[in-house]
Amino acid sequence: MILKNAKVLNDKFIFENSDIEICGKIIKSVGKISASENNILDCSGKIIVPGLVDIHTHGCIGFDSSDKLSLDSIDRMSKFYAQNGTTTYLATIESNTPEDTLLAVKNICSAEKNGVSGASIGGIHLEGPYFSEKYKGAQNINCLRLPDINEFLNLCKESDNTIRLISLAPELPGAIDFIAKASQVCSVAMGHTDSDYASAVNAISEGVTVMTHTFNAMRPLHHRAPNAVGAALDSNIFCEFICDGFHIDKTIIRIMYKLLSDERMLFISDSVRAAGMPDGKYTLANLPFFVKNGEARLEDGTIAGSTVTLFKCAVNAISFGIPPESAFKMASITPAKACGIDSVCGSITPGKRADILILDQNFNIEKVIIRGNLFEKGLV
């Protein structure tokens, strides 16, 4: 298949008029390409961007990656992600019991090996269980525990080494040693943390390369006490942001973009099972939460993830004043780099997987190409 005459966001993340040649599951070439009429998809007047990469999403359409999910349920999730512009995702498992965490890891690993119909599973993100009780957010306090490198390495083994990211609080006893060892296996993030500046700087020096949903569920940035947020912003690590217009004010999004640029700032959905579902009552790691007007909260008012898609986050950012090139970059190659999967996805680059979004001039999704094939939208 050859996509002709589109405005393409190339691998330098600059829009240019170009064609894209796809061979099997892979992007073969990008540029001016001649071809016979029978294998051309005319994209005149269309915008083409890379398929999005969501490295922090718990679930959607009633399912959560921490559940005891069947392969069919995971496949249905992947279809929802795909039809909403996410073509690769890290199945994110929140704090849970050791037994349920292990079962969830095995289920995700099995689905990844068997293959899914929609968005590719890029691996697993363990969001917890090594978090601060004070800043637990919507994590189940009964499942929080101190960092355990043996537990983590066993999960890596059981997942066939598909864990790409683990988030933890760096001030916990044993956390620094854990970070030094875990960072040899996957990317390590700090979040749900009561850390001061010095502890966070130490964690970064030992291997932390990502901040989990920056500003949310952590000791606040203060002009006389910069804390973990200040350490992250003052370093060179990646910083996640939930760009739903609810978790983070749009002015802060613009300020952070000016400070971090699209090289370090990245968007996540942090979506929970209520994404793609109506307002109502749901659960997160056995904690009840409610969704009203699309906002998810625990019974005590604590924010409990989001109900948006990553594509919506990118479009929101554009409406907040972020250039489209950067908005899509922060939802594709930057998150892919943050968890080490950028060699296979995240940009329109020859040799990478052919995951592509075809948009209209108003940034609405018209077609989705996953692994070189047009994704057929439909019921999930």
* Per-run averaged pLDDT (10 residues), the chain, 380 residues: 95 96 96 80 95 98 94 96 98 96 96 94 97 96 97 96 97 98 98 98 98 97 97 98 96 98 98 96 91 94 95 98 98 98 98 98 96 76
Residue 222 and residue 97 share a domain: yes
The CATH number linked to 290 is 3.20.20.140
For residue 12, the enclosing domain spans 2-48+358-374
Residue 145 and residue 26 share a domain: no
Give the contacts of 133 (CB within 8 A, at least 6 positions apart): 141, 144
> For residue 173, is it within any domain?
yes
> For residue 379, is it within any domain?
no
Let me know: does 266 contact 310? Beta carbons within 8 Å.
no
Residue 296 and residue 263 share a domain: yes
Residue 129 and residue 15 share a domain: no
Residue 77 and residue 32 share a domain: no
Residue 181 and residue 41 share a domain: no
**Is 72 strand, coil or helix?**
helix
Number of domains in the chain: 2
Length of the chain: 380
Which alpha helices (H) appear in the chain, and where do they start and end? 71-83, 98-114, 149-158, 175-182, 197-206, 227-233, 250-264, 310-320, 324-329, 333-338
Residue position matching structure tokens 């952070």: 256
Beta bridge partners of 280: 291
Residue 312 and residue 242 share a domain: yes
Alpha-carbon distance of 11 to 14, in angstroms, equals 7
CA 44, 46, 50, 51 torsion-angle sign: negative
For the question of whether the overall pTM of this predicted structure is more than 0.75, the answer is yes
Show the tokens assigned to 297: 């909260």
Residue 114 and residue 27 share a domain: no
Strand order in the sheet with 86-94: 52-57, 86-94, 120-127, 163-168, 187-190, 208-211, 238-242, 265-268
Q: DSSP of 332-370, one letter per residue?
A: THHHHHHTT-TTTSSS--TTSB--EEEE-TTS-EEEEEE
Residue 14 and residue 116 share a domain: no
> For residue 82, is it within any domain?
yes
> For residue 350, is it within any domain?
no
Residue 117 and residue 30 share a domain: no
Residues annotated as catalytic are 270
Residue 19 and residue 83 share a domain: no
Residue 29 and residue 67 share a domain: no
The CATH number linked to 27 is 2.30.40.10
> For residue 353, is it within any domain?
no
> For residue 239, is it within any domain?
yes
